[in-house]
Amino acid sequence: MSVAKNELNPLGRKIFLDRYALKDVQKETLKVGDVVVAVSNPKTGQREIGMVSELNDGDAITVKLDEGTILHVKREDVDKPLETDPAQMLARVAKGIASQEKPEVRKQWEKEFNWLLEDWKFVPGGRILTGAGTDQNLTYFNCYVIPSPKDSRGGIIASLGQMTEIMSRGGGSRYEHIIPQATAQLRQGRKRPLQWLGKLGRALQLRNRPD
Protein backbone atom coordinates (compact mmCIF):
# COMPACT_ATOMS: atom_id res chain seq x y z
CA MET A 1 0.00 0.00 0.00
CA SER A 2 1.51 3.31 -1.09
CA VAL A 3 1.80 6.17 1.40
CA ALA A 4 1.26 9.77 0.37
CA LYS A 5 4.34 11.98 0.48
CA ASN A 6 4.75 14.24 3.52
CA GLU A 7 1.85 12.50 5.26
CA LEU A 8 0.65 14.03 8.54
CA ASN A 9 -1.70 12.73 11.22
CA PRO A 10 -4.60 15.05 12.27
CA LEU A 11 -2.57 16.70 15.04
CA GLY A 12 0.43 17.15 12.76
CA ARG A 13 -1.80 18.75 10.13
CA LYS A 14 -3.19 21.18 12.69
CA ILE A 15 0.30 22.14 13.85
CA PHE A 16 1.46 22.61 10.26
CA LEU A 17 -1.47 24.84 9.28
CA ASP A 18 -1.48 26.82 12.51
CA ARG A 19 2.21 27.38 13.16
CA TYR A 20 4.27 26.86 10.03
CA ALA A 21 2.19 27.41 6.89
CA LEU A 22 2.57 30.80 5.22
CA LYS A 23 -0.49 32.97 5.94
CA ASP A 24 -2.44 35.66 4.14
CA VAL A 25 -1.97 38.08 7.03
CA GLN A 26 -4.34 40.73 5.65
CA LYS A 27 -6.86 38.03 4.60
CA GLU A 28 -7.35 39.82 1.30
CA THR A 29 -7.90 36.52 -0.53
CA LEU A 30 -10.26 35.00 2.05
CA LYS A 31 -13.27 33.38 0.38
CA VAL A 32 -15.89 30.68 0.87
CA GLY A 33 -14.31 27.23 0.69
CA ASP A 34 -10.94 28.29 2.10
CA VAL A 35 -9.21 26.19 4.74
CA VAL A 36 -8.70 28.32 7.84
CA VAL A 37 -7.46 28.15 11.41
CA ALA A 38 -10.19 29.57 13.65
CA VAL A 39 -10.37 30.39 17.35
CA SER A 40 -12.87 27.88 18.74
CA ASN A 41 -12.64 28.96 22.39
CA PRO A 42 -11.98 32.69 23.00
CA LYS A 43 -11.32 32.10 26.71
CA THR A 44 -8.47 29.63 26.18
CA GLY A 45 -7.41 30.70 22.68
CA GLN A 46 -7.88 27.13 21.39
CA ARG A 47 -7.73 26.97 17.60
CA GLU A 48 -9.12 24.39 15.21
CA ILE A 49 -9.02 23.67 11.49
CA GLY A 50 -12.10 24.23 9.36
CA MET A 51 -13.48 25.65 6.15
CA VAL A 52 -15.19 28.98 5.48
CA SER A 53 -18.85 28.33 4.70
CA GLU A 54 -20.12 31.93 4.73
CA LEU A 55 -18.73 35.46 4.61
CA ASN A 56 -21.39 37.51 6.35
CA ASP A 57 -21.96 41.24 6.74
CA GLY A 58 -19.16 43.18 8.37
CA ASP A 59 -16.44 40.99 9.86
CA ALA A 60 -18.65 38.00 10.66
CA ILE A 61 -17.52 34.64 9.25
CA THR A 62 -19.09 31.21 9.50
CA VAL A 63 -16.64 28.32 9.71
CA LYS A 64 -17.39 24.60 9.63
CA LEU A 65 -14.72 22.76 11.60
CA ASP A 66 -13.31 19.47 10.35
CA GLU A 67 -15.21 17.62 13.07
CA GLY A 68 -18.52 19.23 12.04
CA THR A 69 -19.02 22.03 14.56
CA ILE A 70 -20.25 25.34 13.14
CA LEU A 71 -18.49 28.46 14.42
CA HIS A 72 -19.55 32.08 14.05
CA VAL A 73 -16.39 34.13 14.46
CA LYS A 74 -14.94 37.52 13.67
CA ARG A 75 -12.47 38.03 10.86
CA GLU A 76 -9.71 38.73 13.40
CA ASP A 77 -10.23 35.25 14.90
CA VAL A 78 -9.38 33.48 11.64
CA ASP A 79 -6.05 32.82 9.89
CA LYS A 80 -5.91 31.77 6.26
CA PRO A 81 -2.98 29.50 5.37
CA LEU A 82 -1.68 30.07 1.85
CA GLU A 83 0.06 26.71 2.12
CA THR A 84 -2.38 23.87 2.71
CA ASP A 85 -0.09 21.02 1.64
CA PRO A 86 3.22 20.39 3.43
CA ALA A 87 4.90 20.09 0.01
CA GLN A 88 4.26 23.80 -0.56
CA MET A 89 5.99 24.70 2.70
CA LEU A 90 8.93 22.40 2.03
CA ALA A 91 9.40 23.81 -1.48
CA ARG A 92 9.40 27.35 -0.04
CA VAL A 93 11.96 26.42 2.62
CA ALA A 94 14.21 24.66 0.09
CA LYS A 95 14.14 27.68 -2.21
CA GLY A 96 14.75 30.09 0.65
CA ILE A 97 17.75 28.19 1.97
CA ALA A 98 19.16 27.68 -1.54
CA SER A 99 18.98 31.45 -2.11
CA GLN A 100 22.07 31.76 0.11
CA GLU A 101 24.15 29.86 -2.45
CA LYS A 102 25.86 31.31 -5.52
CA PRO A 103 23.33 32.13 -8.29
CA GLU A 104 24.71 29.57 -10.72
CA VAL A 105 24.14 26.64 -8.32
CA ARG A 106 20.94 27.73 -6.56
CA LYS A 107 18.60 25.58 -8.66
CA GLN A 108 20.68 22.49 -7.99
CA TRP A 109 20.81 23.15 -4.25
CA GLU A 110 17.09 23.89 -4.17
CA LYS A 111 16.49 20.44 -5.69
CA GLU A 112 18.87 18.81 -3.19
CA PHE A 113 17.30 20.57 -0.21
CA ASN A 114 13.80 19.70 -1.40
CA TRP A 115 14.77 16.01 -1.66
CA LEU A 116 16.15 16.10 1.88
CA LEU A 117 13.02 17.74 3.30
CA GLU A 118 10.50 15.53 1.49
CA ASP A 119 8.84 12.81 3.56
CA TRP A 120 10.36 14.40 6.66
CA LYS A 121 13.78 12.86 6.06
CA PHE A 122 15.13 15.96 7.76
CA VAL A 123 13.01 18.41 9.76
CA PRO A 124 14.52 21.85 10.46
CA GLY A 125 13.68 23.94 13.51
CA GLY A 126 10.26 25.56 13.62
CA ARG A 127 11.54 29.07 12.96
CA ILE A 128 13.17 27.87 9.73
CA LEU A 129 9.93 26.22 8.59
CA THR A 130 8.07 29.45 9.33
CA GLY A 131 10.51 32.05 8.02
CA ALA A 132 12.66 30.55 5.24
CA GLY A 133 11.65 31.72 1.79
CA THR A 134 9.36 34.50 3.04
CA ASP A 135 9.76 38.27 3.08
CA GLN A 136 9.09 38.35 6.81
CA ASN A 137 11.87 39.57 9.07
CA LEU A 138 11.94 36.43 11.22
CA THR A 139 14.79 34.73 13.03
CA TYR A 140 15.85 31.22 12.05
CA PHE A 141 16.71 30.42 15.67
CA ASN A 142 14.04 29.02 18.00
CA CYS A 143 15.49 30.11 21.33
CA TYR A 144 17.97 32.58 22.79
CA VAL A 145 19.58 32.60 26.21
CA ILE A 146 20.46 36.19 27.01
CA PRO A 147 22.62 37.45 29.88
CA SER A 148 20.80 38.26 33.08
CA PRO A 149 19.98 41.97 33.48
CA LYS A 150 22.46 44.22 35.21
CA ASP A 151 21.32 44.74 38.77
CA SER A 152 19.59 48.06 38.18
CA ARG A 153 16.42 49.52 36.69
CA GLY A 154 18.35 50.55 33.59
CA GLY A 155 19.72 47.03 33.23
CA ILE A 156 16.26 45.53 33.43
CA ILE A 157 14.90 47.97 30.83
CA ALA A 158 17.82 47.20 28.49
CA SER A 159 17.13 43.47 28.81
CA LEU A 160 13.44 44.06 28.12
CA GLY A 161 14.51 45.74 24.88
CA GLN A 162 16.52 42.66 23.91
CA MET A 163 13.60 40.37 24.68
CA THR A 164 11.19 42.50 22.68
CA GLU A 165 13.41 42.49 19.58
CA ILE A 166 13.89 38.72 19.75
CA MET A 167 10.24 37.92 20.33
CA SER A 168 8.96 40.34 17.69
CA ARG A 169 10.90 38.21 15.19
CA GLY A 170 9.41 34.95 16.35
CA GLY A 171 12.17 33.81 18.71
CA GLY A 172 11.93 32.76 22.32
CA SER A 173 14.22 34.00 25.08
CA ARG A 174 15.20 33.26 28.63
CA TYR A 175 17.72 34.56 31.14
CA GLU A 176 20.76 32.71 32.36
CA HIS A 177 19.68 33.19 35.98
CA ILE A 178 17.73 35.58 38.20
CA ILE A 179 19.33 38.83 39.34
CA PRO A 180 21.51 37.99 42.39
CA GLN A 181 20.67 41.13 44.40
CA ALA A 182 16.97 40.71 43.68
CA THR A 183 17.14 37.15 44.97
CA ALA A 184 18.74 38.30 48.21
CA GLN A 185 16.13 41.02 48.68
CA LEU A 186 13.30 38.59 48.02
CA ARG A 187 14.65 36.37 50.79
CA GLN A 188 14.48 39.40 53.09
CA GLY A 189 10.80 39.89 52.25
CA ARG A 190 11.16 43.06 50.18
CA LYS A 191 8.46 43.66 47.54
CA ARG A 192 10.24 46.02 45.14
CA PRO A 193 12.24 43.27 43.35
CA LEU A 194 8.96 41.43 42.78
CA GLN A 195 7.55 44.47 41.00
CA TRP A 196 10.51 44.66 38.64
CA LEU A 197 10.64 40.91 38.08
CA GLY A 198 6.92 41.11 37.34
CA LYS A 199 7.70 43.56 34.54
CA LEU A 200 10.03 40.99 33.06
CA GLY A 201 7.25 38.42 33.13
CA ARG A 202 4.72 40.76 31.55
CA ALA A 203 7.18 41.49 28.75
CA LEU A 204 6.62 37.93 27.56
CA GLN A 205 3.16 39.06 26.44
CA LEU A 206 4.82 41.25 23.80
CA ARG A 207 5.97 38.27 21.75
CA ASN A 208 5.35 38.43 18.02
CA ARG A 209 4.10 41.99 18.28
CA PRO A 210 4.88 43.84 15.03
CA ASP A 211 7.16 46.91 15.04
pLDDT in tens, 131-142: 999 988 888 877
Residue 177, pLDDT score: 52
d(CA 199, CA 205): 10
Residue 167, pLDDT score: 74
Q: Is 186 exposed, middle or buried (0-12, 13-18, 19+ CB in 10 A)?
A: middle
Instruction: Write the pLDDT tens digit of every residue in 58-70.
Output: 899 999 999 999 9
Residue 9, pLDDT score: 94
Residue 207, pLDDT score: 46
Which runs of consecutive H residues, i.e. helices, occur in 21-152?
86-98, 106-117, 126-131
d(CA 188, CA 190): 6
Q: Tell me the whole-structure pTM to 2 decimals.
A: 0.74
b/e 54-74 (16+ beta carbons within 10 angstroms → b): eeeeeeebbbeeeeeeebebe
C-beta of residue 13 within 8 angstroms of C-beta of residue 6: no
Tell me the C-alpha to C-alpha distance, in Å, between residue 10 and each of 16, 48, 66, 67: 10, 11, 10, 11
Which parts of the chain register pLDDT below 50?
A: 182-186, 190-191, 193, 206-211
Residue 73, pLDDT score: 94
Residue 175, pLDDT score: 61
Residue 139, pLDDT score: 80
Which SS3 state, helix, strand or coil, does residue 22 take? coil
Type of residue found at 187: R
Q: 3-state DSSP: the chain helix, strand, coil percent, rounded to 5?
A: 45, 20, 40
Residue 57, pLDDT score: 83
Residue 19, pLDDT score: 92
Residue 105, pLDDT score: 97
